[in-house]
Structure 1
Amino acid sequence: MHLTLVRLGPFRIFQKALGQQVSWFLGIAILGLISALAYYRRRRQRWFQTSERQNEVLLWTGWLVLTYGFFSIASFFHPYYMIMLAPAIVALVGIGLPTMWQQFFRQHLRWSTFLLPVAILGTSALQAWYVYENYSWLAWLILIAGVTTVALLFVAKDSARQHHWFPVILITGIIGTVIAPAWWSLTPTIAAESAAIPYAGPALLTTASNQGGLGNGTVNQKLLTYLEKNQGQATYLFATTDSGTAAPYIIATGKAVMAIGGFNGTDNAISLAKFKQLVKNGQVRYFYVSGRSSDNEIVTWVKKYGTKVATKKYSQTTSQNFAQTNQTQSTSKQASGTPPNKPTGTKQAGTATGGMDQTGTLYDLSSIN
């Protein structure tokens, strides 16, 4: 995975590497919370006395501040965890935009009149910066739409027929703020992305960038043939410790494969007693202890009481890459190398691509009473 160093600090989340994942509307959210706190303030209340509406704003502000603060200073994290910011951003944009609109046209407070134009211009400029490297034409379109929206706002403000201007203001405003993040959010779906560390962006649309992840690992075809031949009436094709090992086989066969340890193999997804019952009932016959498996009580029990299957029956020197044989992307797309702005923290840990390695051991549990 390509490393993108992201500097720590209060503006870290606005940098391209992370901002393209979550910060498209962050500026509106921040200005929106300021606008909402001012708009819903009772004139006669003291500074520490808050209205019910202000309390709602403070709730989401607390959410935003805590998560924003963490990601501003954290030394390492998977970028998809930044989805934690999304509920607060969405809520504050939804609360703040109507108050900024009201304060612009009704002049609730003189200084608050400028919050809406500043929010639109700032967001348009930020989004144009985000997309310029990939789509320079879109960056200019966003800037023009943002400036046009603000100009129309001031025209409508001084117009005797304000309501006639609102539809065109909304259309240009949407073009200036929604098109780019909407496209970014669609890229994982279009690219059929299944990465273990997912992210969004045009780089996914190249054949070289869509690598790794659950379901893109290797399938040991000899092992698969052996398991399908001997599964019998068992519910599960086999059981293993983690989703990375199980996922390619689930996708390849459509059959159930049990991951007793969840995503990384470290969760207690099922108790030993429950697992024993499944074995006793004939629902689980085979267990694969992969080379990266951790020893938990179920693995220890399997090793102690299970019967090792002869390695020659299922091992092979060359694995078949299931992701490559099921590649559905157009051959006309050319590989462009690792995406330059793939988000990450300040350092990156290694990630497994999933699939069955060649150092594990298969156990037959059918003889256990």
Structure 2
Amino acid sequence: MTTLAPPPASAAPEGGQRSATPSARLGRLFTGAPEDPRWARPALWAILVLATALYAWNMNSLTGNSFYNAAVYSGTKSWKAFFFGALDAGSFITVDKPPFALWVMGLSARIFGYGSWQLALPMVAVGTGSVALLYRMVKRDFGAVAGTIAALVLTLTPITVAITRDTNPDPILVFLMLLGAAALMKAVRNGRLMPLVWSAVAIGFAFNTKMMQAYVVLPVFFLVYLWAAQLSLGRRIRNLAVATVALVVSSAWWMVIVDLIPASSRPYIGGSTDNTVWDLVIGYNGFGRIFGASSSVGSQGNGASFGGSAGIYRLFNEIMGGQISWLIPFAVIALVGGLVLRGRAPRTDAKRAALLLWGGWFVLHYLTFALAEGTFHPYYVTAMAPGIAAVAGAGGVLLYRAFKEGSAAKWAWVLPLAIAASTVLAVVLLQRVSGSGTVYTVAEVVAGVAGTAAVLGLLAGRFLGRQRLMGFAVLAAVVALLAGPTAYSVSAATSSSANGTNPTAGPSTGGGMGGGGGMGGGPGGSSSKSGSTSGQSMGQPPSGTKPSGNAPSGTGSSSTKTESGAAPSGSESGKSSGGGGGMGGGTQVSSAMISYLKKNQDGATWLVAVATDQTASEIILESGQPVISMGGWSGSDNAMTLAKLKSLVKSGTLHYIVVSSNGGQSTNSEISTWVKKHGTAVSSYSGLYRLDASDVS
């Protein structure tokens, strides 16, 4: 059987690679370096093809997160909206994240046109790129077998498949964090400053993708460099200080620029309590996620229902278990075993440094996600996947070598124990959903049988001296450990309901999640698919036409002024947006209403003002026009004040407003009262009012 030990270092001089002819370099792209096993590069290409297929399958019909889709669309219409990450092209309010991911998707949309595959393309690229980068990093320290296992595990992590087929920023976050890790390990090995600086810059860009979540890995980055870099302690500390400056600059530049711009000249910072990015960093997207202290998340409070209650076992519950936890038992045992095996290595040992990096990545993310009291969505845990995958590959190879070659009897049991632990978990997870489809029942049987064969085969092979039997047992172990994740991943890639505001993989479970993330994506509990005004796929450009449809019946308002809102004839009155009560109060935003608003826009910048981002984003994508979200994602942002509303109406930049009342997503009471008193109710559309300059006293 092929040894799992890392290949010996090439005897060729360092400059040998540079002397290779262009055709030789091109050939090595497909065949790998001469010292690699012949199967290694073809196996990598096969995994990359598999990853691309899973992430890009039917990409032209993906729905994505309409919230971010609308912001990307608005950014293609306005460079100001592009820079700020505004939800609408009029730049009234930003999304509740920094804009780097929107910039990436927005540039794709500006280059290739706005559409589903154009928004999906960058996500597929960074998803597949993350697999390739992880392979390269793990292979360098632990060999081709370890790199191949790590790449395959990351490819088949169910939540990673689900989120990479979406427009949430997490795939870009993961890729940037991996770039930071690659540069860090280069700095550890060669002792140079610039790779460490570039590592800090990569994490800074990750911060501008999803703020404080990018910093979860920083403690282990600092620890690994401080412990293992091939420099004196003084130079290590100096280099870390320089890298910290680079981290601060690359993280804070956009925030500082935005906060220095007068509030009257920029959009309101969505998700903040005081219209500053700094508050968004430390509150809604910072400590509020950990401690549930942010009041801006609205009526859902700490948001724990999206991923189950906080606690050390959260990632094994019915919602989260099938998304990420399959190989956690194996990874924990492999990590501990690997560190023990490298325990007497020199301080600068690259293998131990890599184990510390990947193990710390895994452990820090696990604790953060398991114990977070704030808003928590299942897809966040995709950031933990590289740590699990790398530890599974690297630690698994170290355990196999100890199992095969170690003289101590205790090592004969560690690898079989790790396989058995994750196999039992896989059977438990699949048993939860075995009635949801044949594929999960088959996966359960395959995992159980293959896991049993792997454990027995390894033990029999070791004690009977049968190398071939041990080789077959290793293959059975891979099958056992990946059967469940594969079933979930295929489901995420092929299911029409596994894409949206809160994407998850696999079937529905007792926790109410699965498929399309049945609980929706935000405080309103809406999925971006349900209730769409148009049924558009992700990024489908607004048609600019006025769909026919009957106006929904409504009671108007208590106001004595009414305006006829006769809609075009048709039969689309049932199509409404703002699922999850985005409009509230029984108000429906139908295609007919949008058609009416466009016909009577009368030169206004904004088509209409509504309560929340969810509703605004759906109308933006349906109409192609800027729409004001007065209350941000949850309806509790103080983005619209009465004074600001009066100013917009008086200037003629806004004529229509929807007044809604739906708990935490209702229109500001002061605004609602004033609009009902001074506005003209559009009788055909409940909750819709027209305001003109003459209505402002």
Match of 2:489 among 175, 178, 185: 185
Q: Is structure 2 residue 446 aligned with structure 1 residue 141?
A: yes
Q: Secondary structure at the match of 1:140?
A: helix
Report if aligned partners of 1:238, 1:286 keep a CA contact under 8 Å in 2: yes
Q: Is structure 2 residue 614 aligned with structure 1 residue 244?
A: yes
More divergent stretch after superposition (217-226 vs 186-195) = 186-195
Partner of 2:331: 29
Report if aligned partners of 1:145, 1:172 keep a CA contact under 8 Å in 2: yes
Pairing of 1:247-286 with structure 2 (within 5 A)? 247-250=617-620, 252-253=622-623, 257=627, 259=629, 262-265=632-635
Distance, in Å, in 1 between the alignment partners of 2:337 and 2:387 is: 15
More divergent stretch after superposition (4-13 vs 120-129) = 4-13
Instruction: From the superposition, tell whether residues 141 and 238 of structure 1 become closer, same or farther in structure 2 (CA, over 3 Å).
Output: same
Partner of 1:333: none
What root-mean-square deviation, in Å, do the aligned CA atoms of Structure 1 and Structure 2 show?
4.9
Letter in 2 for 1:62: G
Q: Which is richer in helix?
A: 2
Report if aligned partners of 1:21, 1:199 keep a CA contact under 8 Å in 2: yes
Distance, in Å, in 2 between the alignment partners of 1:208 and 1:92 is: 28
Report if aligned partners of 2:492, 2:515 keep a CA contact under 8 Å in 1: no
Instruction: From the superposition, tell whether residues 178 and 281 of structure 1 become closer, same or farther in structure 2 (CA, over 3 Å).
Output: farther
Distance, in Å, in 2 between the alignment partners of 1:175 and 1:236 is: 55
Partner of 2:192: none
Partner of 1:216: 530
Pairing of 1:325-364 with structure 2 (within 5 A)? 360-362=687-689
* Residue deviations 1:224-275 (CA, integer Å, cap 9, x gap): 12123234777764454532212433454566645476533456999xxxx9
Distance, in Å, in 1 between the alignment partners of 2:408 and 2:329 is: 20
Distance, in Å, in 1 between the alignment partners of 2:498 and 2:653 is: 32
Quote the offset at 1:51 in angstroms: 3.7
More divergent stretch after superposition (21-30 vs 237-246) = 237-246
Letter in 2 for 1:229: K
Distance, in Å, in 2 between the alignment partners of 1:79 and 1:94 is: 27
Q: Is structure 2 residue 336 aligned with structure 1 residue 57?
A: no
Letter in 1 for 2:343: R
Distance, in Å, in 2 between the alignment partners of 1:92 and 1:261 is: 43
Letter in 1 for 2:485: P
Report if aligned partners of 2:315, 2:321 keep a CA contact under 8 Å in 1: yes
Identity %: 25
Q: TM-score, structure 1 length as denominator?
A: 0.63
Partner of 2:479: 175
Report if aligned partners of 2:504, 2:515 keep a CA contact under 8 Å in 1: no
Distance, in Å, in 1 between the alignment partners of 2:628 and 2:306 is: 35
Match of 1:117 among 416, 426, 433: 416
Report if aligned partners of 2:338, 2:395 keep a CA contact under 8 Å in 1: yes
* Residue deviations 1:106-129 (CA, integer Å, cap 9, x gap): 328653443322121211111011
Distance, in Å, in 2 between the alignment partners of 1:65 and 1:199 is: 22
Match of 2:425 among 123, 126, 149: 126
Higher relative contact order (CA 8 A, sep 6+): 1
Q: Is structure 2 residue 383 aligned with structure 1 residue 69?
A: no
Report if aligned partners of 1:101, 1:116 keep a CA contact under 8 Å in 2: yes
Quote the offset at 1:201 in angstroms: 2.7
Distance, in Å, in 2 between the alignment partners of 1:200 and 1:148 is: 28
Instruction: From the superposition, tell whether residues 78 and 161 of structure 1 become closer, same or farther in structure 2 (CA, over 3 Å).
Output: closer
Report if aligned partners of 2:443, 2:487 keep a CA contact under 8 Å in 1: no
Instruction: From the superposition, tell whether residues 64 and 230 of structure 1 become closer, same or farther in structure 2 (CA, over 3 Å).
Output: same
Distance, in Å, in 1 between the alignment partners of 2:529 and 2:489 is: 21
Distance, in Å, in 2 between the alignment partners of 1:309 and 1:256 is: 21
Report if aligned partners of 1:60, 1:91 keep a CA contact under 8 Å in 2: yes
Q: TM-score, structure 2 length as denominator?
A: 0.37
Instruction: From the superposition, tell whether residues 9 and 237 of structure 1 become closer, same or farther in structure 2 (CA, over 3 Å).
Output: closer
Give structure 1 stretches of 5+ with no counterpart: 317-359
Q: Secondary structure at the match of 1:213?
A: coil
Quote the offset at 1:147 in angstroms: 1.6
* Residue deviations 1:43-101 (CA, integer Å, cap 9, x gap): 5x6xxx57443333334433433443355555675341651533432332233222222
Quote the offset at 1:140 in angstroms: 2.3
Distance, in Å, in 2 between the alignment partners of 1:101 and 1:281 is: 73
Report if aligned partners of 1:238, 1:257 keep a CA contact under 8 Å in 2: yes
Partner of 1:344: none
Report if aligned partners of 1:42, 1:51 keep a CA contact under 8 Å in 2: no
Report if aligned partners of 1:215, 1:248 keep a CA contact under 8 Å in 2: no
Quote the offset at 1:364 in angstroms: 5.6
Distance, in Å, in 2 between the alignment partners of 1:208 and 1:293 is: 24
Partner of 2:321: 19
Instruction: From the superposition, tell whether residues 17 and 285 of structure 1 become closer, same or farther in structure 2 (CA, over 3 Å).
Output: same
Quote the offset at 1:24 in angstroms: 0.9
Match of 2:392 among 86, 93, 114: 93
Letter in 1 for 2:527: G
Letter in 2 for 1:226: Y
Distance, in Å, in 2 between the alignment partners of 1:33 and 1:281 is: 64
Partner of 2:402: 103
Pairing of 1:305-344 with structure 2 (within 5 A)? 310-312=680-682, 315-316=685-686
Instruction: From the superposition, tell whether residues 69 and 210 of structure 1 become closer, same or farther in structure 2 (CA, over 3 Å).
Output: closer
Partner of 2:140: none
Distance, in Å, in 1 between the alignment partners of 2:306 and 2:618 is: 29
More divergent stretch after superposition (214-223 vs 150-159) = 150-159
Instruction: From the superposition, tell whether residues 121 and 257 of structure 1 become closer, same or farther in structure 2 (CA, over 3 Å).
Output: farther
Report if aligned partners of 1:308, 1:361 keep a CA contact under 8 Å in 2: no
Instruction: From the superposition, tell whether residues 170 and 50 of structure 1 become closer, same or farther in structure 2 (CA, over 3 Å).
Output: same
Q: Is structure 2 residue 450 aligned with structure 1 residue 80?
A: no
Count how many residue pairs are aligned between Structure 1 and Structure 2.
Answer: 314
Q: Is structure 2 residue 600 aligned with structure 1 residue 230?
A: yes
Letter in 2 for 1:118: L
Letter in 1 for 2:489: S
Match of 1:38 among 340, 343, 346: 340
Letter in 1 for 2:352: Q
Letter in 2 for 1:311: A
Instruction: From the superposition, tell whether residues 31 and 252 of structure 1 become closer, same or farther in structure 2 (CA, over 3 Å).
Output: same
Quote the offset at 1:200 in angstroms: 3.0
Instruction: From the superposition, tell whether residues 261 and 207 of structure 1 become closer, same or farther in structure 2 (CA, over 3 Å).
Output: closer
Instruction: From the superposition, tell whether residues 134 and 230 of structure 1 become closer, same or farther in structure 2 (CA, over 3 Å).
Output: same
Report if aligned partners of 1:156, 1:165 keep a CA contact under 8 Å in 2: yes
Match of 1:150 among 445, 455, 473: 455
Distance, in Å, in 2 between the alignment partners of 1:207 and 1:15 is: 18
Q: Secondary structure at the match of 1:311?
A: strand
